[in-house]
Copies of this chain bind each other. A is one copy, B any other.
Amino acid sequence: MKKIFQTYGSLVALVILLVLNFMFMRGTFFGPENIRNIVTQNSPTGIVAVGMTLVIIGGGIDLSVGSMMVLVATLGLLALNKTGNLQTGTLGATIVTICHSRFGWSFEQIGTFIAAIVTVAGGAALGLVNGMVITSGRIAPFIVTLAGLISYRSVALALAEGGEIRSSSATVFSKIAMGGVPIPGTSNGAGGQILIYWPIVIMIVMVIWGSFILNQTKFGRRLIAVGANEQAALYSGIAVHKVKWATYSFLGLCTGIAALCQASKFNSVSTSGLGLYMELDAIAAVVIGGTSMRGGRGQVWSTLIGVLILGIITNMLVLYGVSVYWQGCVKGAIILIAVLIQRGKTE
């Protein structure tokens, strides 16, 4: 019984929340669009939380994801906006022109493609930097990524010269977040069907990928070993440093993908607002999902449940009309209760 709680505790917490909503809110909460919205809004957090789960299982933590997000999104949008404006004669311009004329891609498409690459690869690269500073400087991850939290956003500010960067792409770039798969039998207000937006699809793919890495690959075993007992992992012939690099880099990749979704959704980047508190949300989701902060233990799918729990709480607070001032209080309490439930501390 206790074992079940420990394994499926987060699921139990989720079910309790859903039942509460069913009892008091019914259609309002359970409308397909509301559900879709909750999932969509939380998919960037979800994507980041997948990577965060692996980092935490590996005994680390990353506070820099929110700032990293704004930095790589800024880089991506700068690249996008640059694509149309390249100086003729430069290599970049030539490549773009070739793509344009040979493959019939519009400049907007090429720009979007380049922005996507820059954002995602930038994330992976910054993640790798985090990992390398942690291993070669032998500094606590908390501090290294705290420095990242402070620095990365500052670089974004400098690049954007404060404020905001707007995408020069009118329609293509925002398709990344606003396109998707229609759900049959539904209809949105504007006459079409409700879409499952791409970020949801991407999140699901990332959860499956993350779970696969964790449970089905050598790397996953080694990651758990590093997180549970670094010395034992070393004695078992595991290249602990490389495992860490790969993990932080994977989280960076996730962050890059999430940044792309966000930038596309807003079709702009707000250097002061994007990704703010993302690290706290992602970590909270991981822990509510039952992954231990001590490392060596956890699951990716249950992090997804943690993300949903957090999302549903926010949604509920609005639906139930909780005073905005007290919302934080209620949210804090629910997080604690969710963690308690998933610990099976029902004695």
Contacts from A to B (Cβ < 8 Å): 133, 137-140, 142-144, 146-151, 153-155, 157-158, 161-162, 280, 283-284, 287, 292-294, 323, 325-333, 335-336, 339-340, 343, 345
Contacts and interface: CB of A to CB of B under 8 A. Distances in A.
Contacts of A137: 336, 339-340, 343, 345
A280 B294 CA distance: 20
A292 B287 CA distance: 23
20 contacts: A137-B343, A137-B345, A138-B345, A139-B336, A139-B340, A143-B287, A143-B293, A143-B339, A146-B284, A146-B335, A149-B280, A150-B329, A151-B328, A151-B331, A154-B326, A154-B327, A154-B332, A155-B329, A158-B323, A158-B325
Centre residue among A148, A155, A328 by max chain B CB count within 10 A: A328
A153 B162 CA distance: 27
Contacts of A340: 137, 139
A147 B336 contact: yes
Smallest CB-CB A-B distances: 9 pairs:
A154-B328, A151-B332, A158-B325, A147-B332, A150-B332, A154-B329, A157-B325, A140-B293, A151-B329
Nearest to A326: B158
A328 B326 CA distance: 32
Contact of A146 (B151, B280, B323, B333): B280
A116 B279 CA distance: 35
Contact of A142 (B293, B332, B336): B293
* Total copies of this chain within the assembly: 2
Contacts of A150: 328-329, 331-332, 335
A154 B331 CA distance: 10
A91 to B, nearest CB: 29
Nearest to A139: B339
Contact of A154 (B144, B153, B325, B345): B325
A283 B323 contact: no
Centre residue among A133, A150, A292 by max chain B CB count within 10 A: A150
Contacts of A147: 332-333, 335-336
A332 B148 contact: yes
B333 A151 contact: yes
A150 B283 CA distance: 14
A341 B155 CA distance: 24
A144 to B, nearest CB: 7
A140 B287 contact: yes
Contact of A143 (B142, B144, B335): B335
Contact of A287 (B142, B157, B330): B142
Contacts of A151: 328-329, 331-333
